[in-house]
Amino acid sequence: MDIVKISFEDIKYATDNFSNEKCIGMGALGKMFKGQLPHANGHKFIAAKLFDREYGQGDTEFYQELEILFKFKHRNVIGLEGYCDEMDERIIVYEYPSNGSLNDWLKKTDLTWMKRLEICIDVAIGLDFLHGGALRQEAVIHRDIKSSNILLSGDLEAKINDFGLSLISQNNQEIDYVKMETIAGTECYIDPAYRKTGIISKASDIYSFGVVLFEILCGISAYETSGYINNQQYLGPLAKNHYEHNKLNELVFEGIKEQIVPQSLSIYAKIAYNCLHDDRNQRPTASEVVAQLNEAKDFHVDCEMWESRLPSDYKEIIQQSGTPEICYTKKKKDLYDMLYEGILIQKGKVWFWLDSNNNRNEMISSTLFTYKNQSSQKWRRIRKARFERVSLMMDVSDLKIQIKITAKFLTLGATYGVYLVFKLGESNKISSEPMYVNLKYKREDKTLHAYFATWREDGWMMIELHRFLYDKDCGDFEAKHEEIEQSKDDVQQILSANSNMGQMQQFPADNDEIYELTQNYDMGAKVPFLFLTKFILCEK
């Protein structure tokens, strides 16, 4: 093979004659040493595995690992620097990841949840590459995936290491396993199905990786049983049992517990649990693990970026919507967008939204009005509207409606305008000129008048009734609308108005609202020209 051959003397010199001080690990096939080899730019750190001749069987493991490292090159697989087969010695020289093995980092609090997720994704990507995906004709079954065989570079990029037990198999759907005469691997990571049948497959690597995922989450090595496990039960079965009984939180590493977003933990724990499935055919593939871990990471990143932008009481607001569970299933960015687009709360009776200044605004459905002259009032449905129904007033000369509202979620310190929003007939035409209406209403036993209504860009109109500064001592708003004086000439002028629009405050538009009659009525009788649909509290 066209690999750099390094002399035994050079490796011996680089490792101080394989001194104990340079030994950085020991495996079933030999010891690993850190060293420095001459390089064009000075010296280069390397790791050299000296195969123990006691385990040599025709040098099978040595040449098999060389073949794998030569044929399967990937950024998440340890890099091959060279080899030596002189003086009856067998040595493989690797790149040197300066941050050691993952096993040494499990209890470190500076290894954040975010970084742990990235390491898991690196390993899953490397494993997916080794398993061949759907394109390669050959796949590598590692047979010894564990945290001590995952090395970390200077920037904590993970690299799968130690292919001494690995084998190359055909990558096809019909035969995806190999029958082994002896069981090999590290006891607490070994797939129980492999131990029972002697059949090794890519799913066996997935089981081992599932154990690693729980090591990373729990901050303990799979070897560690003291204080956690009874009857010598290993971490894999323990974590699996805790997951099934909704007690996994008891095992989560305290150093990262406060960092973990619930949605991120839920996705992560589920895929780790699925990796340990008793039925190997039910375990996910490495590519599926990559997808789920990325989803867990996306939720974490999303929370870091968007949680602070949401209102501090966003959960309380959304809990009053028709789908309160979205607080825990949707990403924070989606919740943020929803609040800016607007959501229905309080059993669909209030439309809540945030404006560009993060101020809160509310529209109150006409279903919350009290109608004293109900014979002149009917209900109609509006297609694609915010509210399910609107009030159709057949006669507005004697309105007699009353509204009392408590605006629970407004912004303290903001000045609000209070508006009555309505529409004349079926007209969608708008005008740049205000309409004279002379609405008479009462508030706190005072009779007041609103003389003009302004057009909104969606063809609806609004009348300003009140302005106030919202503070903690701000009381409820109560108004009684008694009548609107309107001549037939005024109505005709409105219905024939052109669609020019002047500058006005922009509010959420109901561009898709279409008047839809659900009952017949006598067109020769009183003309239905007022839809009372909204009572609006909007930041000025």
Taking only the tens place, the pLDDT of each residue in 18-63 is: 999 999 887 777 888 999 988 767 788 999 999 887 655 547 888 8
Amino acid at 504: M
Residue 15 binned pLDDT confidence (cut-offs 50, 70, 90): very high
pLDDT score at 225: 58
The answer to whether 235 touches 188, Cβ cutoff 8 Å, is yes
Q: Quote the CA–CA distance of 479 and 336 in Å, as a whole number.
A: 33
Identify each DSSP E strand in 388-521 by its residue range.
Answer: 389-393, 401-405, 415-423, 435-443, 446-455, 461-469, 477-484, 514-516
Residues in contact with 279: Cβ distance below 8 Å, sequence separation at least 6, in sequence order: none
For residues 291-302, average pLDDT: 97
Scanning 151-278, the segments in alpha helix (DSSP H) are 192-197, 202-218, 235-244, 254-257, 262-275
pLDDT of residue 96: 92
Q: What is the pTM of this model?
A: 0.79
The two structure tokens encoding residue 532: 């009372």
Least confident of 123-132, 161-170, 221-230, 272-281: 221-230
Overall average pLDDT of the 336-349 stretch = 93
Which residue did the predictor score with more confidence, 519 or 332?
332
Please, how many CA atoms are within 13 Å of residue 352, restricted to the half-sphere of its CB? 29
| Contact of 396 with 486, CB cutoff 8 Å | yes
Q: What's the mean pLDDT in 162-186?
A: 77
Least confident of 139-148, 152-161, 349-358, 435-444: 435-444
pLDDT tens digits along 100-152: 999 999 999 999 999 999 999 999 999 999 998 766 788 999 999 999 999 99
Query: Is 144 part of the annotated catalytic residue set?
Result: yes
Average pLDDT, the chain: 83
Packing angle, helices 332-341 and 286-306, rounded to 10: 50
Hey, how many other C-beta atoms are within 10 angstroms of the C-beta on 375? Answer: 8
pLDDT at 339 exceeding the cut of 50: yes
Confidence of residue 236 (pLDDT cuts 50, 70, 90): very high
Residue 513: what pLDDT?
A: 34
Average pLDDT over residues 260-287: 95
**pLDDT over 90 at 250, yes or no:** yes
Cross-strand partners of 15: none
- Domains along the sequence of the chain with CATH: 1-96 (3.30.200.20), 100-309 (1.10.510.10), 310-340 (no CATH), 355-539 (2.60.120.260)
Tokens 């002379």, located at residue: 438
- For residues 322 and 273, the model is more confident at 273
Give the pLDDT of residue 177.
Answer: 66
Average of per-residue pLDDT across 408-413: 86
pLDDT over threshold 50, residue 310: yes
**pLDDT for 503 beyond 50:** no
pLDDT at 382 over 90: no
Q: What is the pLDDT of residue 174?
A: 52
Kindly state the percentage of the chain with pLDDT values over 90.
Answer: 45
For the chain, what percent of residues have pLDDT higher than 70?
A: 84
Among candidate residues 144, 162, 302, 510, the one labeled active-site is: 144
